Amino acid sequence: MSDTLELTRRLVSIPSHDDERAAGDAVASWLRAETDAAVRRDDAGNVIARRGTGDRSLALVGHHDVVAPAADQAEHGEYVVEEREGRLYGRGAADMKGSLAAAMVAFRDAAPADELVFASFAGEERGGVGARAAIDDGFAPDYAVVGEGSTGYSAPGVTDVAVAHKGRRGSTLVVRGESAHASEPTAGENAVYRACDAVEVVQGLDAPAATALGLELQGSVVVTEIEGGEGWNVIPDRCEATVDERTVPGERADLEQAESVPGVEWVVDQDLPPMACDDADFAATVLDAARAAQDGVPEHVAKPHATDAGWLAAAGTTCVVCGAAEPGEAHTDTESVDPDVLERCERIYRRVAESR
């Protein structure tokens, strides 16, 4: 069994949906045992290691937290890990302990051209809390390869290089009215009617769009939930509508327009930033490494959802995303990854680390 696959099995077996500390401990202890890097844990639970010197710094970035497993995915205090039909199954195999293991092995084995940094963040699944804490604490590599999934975008089985991804801004339209008895509707102000007017405003907004290294990204804005009223005979005095907006670099939908409706307040609940690589040469370097590591022909692609690359890019790090997970694998009860693709990712990361 290869080091990458063995390490993946070990990391996947460690529960890390409620408490990431044990997984972080395993990452840190492996790095201390296998490398001569300076390894540290910060107060947020992140693991950061550094080796080599040079004029620039390249980070291999992942996260060691996962979403909760299904009931049958855990037993005896560990997650179930299985190999069958040429794939490795288990919570976190795709998102993203497999690529994390590949990055760890590449970090150990590479002869880095410049300073090589490894970072495994905590709390990615909770809005990037680990990445944000690290950035606030001064984490600022010049370049980063974030190991989220990029396999199977241009063609099945091909590991591509994502040079952009969308973000997500989740918000709520909080609508207030004045209650009254339903037999006298004009005695009050119907919050549901006002909410419908605000939803109509949202429907009329243009979805954001942008271009990154020649790739077009089309955002979206849509109302996904609405709730209001307290009884069949009461004019509702409050209603809320949830808005899901997929953002693109540099552009946002003008959701403040919804506040033109009386009684409407627009409240942002979550804002995960998009990412666009701002260095065509770096994007080409990673694509060259991906081409050399596989028989397929990888391409520059865009991802539809947010990753920690968005936080890093917003802080000034030039990022791409390249990893083993395929569309539709993350967060599923049958989450799995191809061991051969894990080995491929290790080769890609090592080639990038050794490139100038």
Tens of pLDDT, residues 167-216:
999 999 999 999 999 999 999 999 999 999 999 999 999 999 999 999 99
In the chain the first and final C-alpha atoms are separated, in Å, by 31
Structural domains in the chain plus CATH codes: 3-166+274-353 (3.40.630.10), 167-272 (3.30.70.360)
Confidence label for 260 from pLDDT (cuts 50, 70 and 90): very high
pLDDT at 76: 75
What digits encode the pLDDT tens for the residues 304-352? 999 999 999 999 999 999 999 999 999 999 999 999 999 999 999 999 9
The dihedral sign for the CA sequence 131, 135, 139, 141: positive
Place of tokens 């028989």: 295
Strands 82-84 and 78-79: unpaired
Nearest to 174 by CA among 221, 227, 222: 227
Average pLDDT value for residue range 289-299: 97
Q: How far apart are CA 334 and CA 16, in angstroms?
A: 17
Report the percentage of the chain scoring pLDDT > 70: 100
pTM score, whole prediction: 0.92
Q: How far apart are CA 94 and CA 308, in angstroms?
A: 16
Q: How far apart are CA 272 and CA 252, in angstroms?
A: 12
Residue 2 neighbours by CB under 8 Å, 6+ apart:
339, 343
**pLDDT averaged over every residue in the chain:** 96
Contact yes or no for 331/89 (Cβ under 8 A): no
pLDDT at 74: 80
Contact yes or no for 274/310 (Cβ under 8 A): yes
Q: How far apart are CA 140 and CA 276, in angstroms?
A: 17
The tokens describing 347, both together, are 């080769």
The tokens describing 312, both together, are 């890093």
Residue 356 has pLDDT above 80, yes or no: no
Contact yes or no for 299/154 (Cβ under 8 A): yes
pLDDT at 1: 67
Q: Which residues pair with 306 in a beta bridge?
A: none
What digits encode the pLDDT tens for the residues 24-83? 999 999 999 999 999 999 999 999 999 999 999 999 999 999 999 988 788 778 899 999
